[in-house]
Amino acid sequence: MLQVDIDTKMKFLHGLSNKTRVQILESIKEDEKTVSQIVQDLNGNQSNISQHLTCLKGCGLVVGRQDGKYVYYRVRNQLVRDLLTMIDVVLEDVEKDVACCDSHID
């Protein structure tokens, strides 16, 4: 069985622990986009989106590609896309329980 350090695993999961970051991932799940395109999709502000993209890049979920003056962001690879899809599949089964859960602890 693959062994991953628990602290590293938590840092990775941190990338998925924020609504804006998940919205960004969904926005670029199928197509690469510039920050401006992501800002438009999310109706957000550029500074905030850029900060979240930095986190997602740091967690290994997103990569950027420079093209002239623009940077295009995309989900790192098919494994990350599969993970996002699997989260949706699991949530279909447990959505009601998650929605009612009030016992989140840090």
pLDDT (average), residues 77-104: 88
37: Cα within 13 Å, side-chain hemisphere: 13
Name the pTM for this structure.
Answer: 0.87
Q: What are phi and psi of 96, to 5 degrees?
A: -65, -40
Mean pLDDT of 10-36: 94
Q: How confident is the model at residue 106 (pLDDT cuts 50, 70, 90)?
A: low
**What total number of domains does the chain contain?**
1
| Whole-angstrom distance, CA of residue 28 vs CA of residue 38 | 8
* Cα end-to-end distance, the chain, whole Å: 27
Mean pLDDT of 80-95: 92
Confirm whether 105 is domain-assigned: no
Q: Domain range holding 81?
A: 6-100
Mention every residue, 6+ apart, whose C-beta is less than 8 A from residue 79: none
Let me know if residue 35 belongs to a domain. Answer: yes
CATH number at residue 60: 1.10.10.10
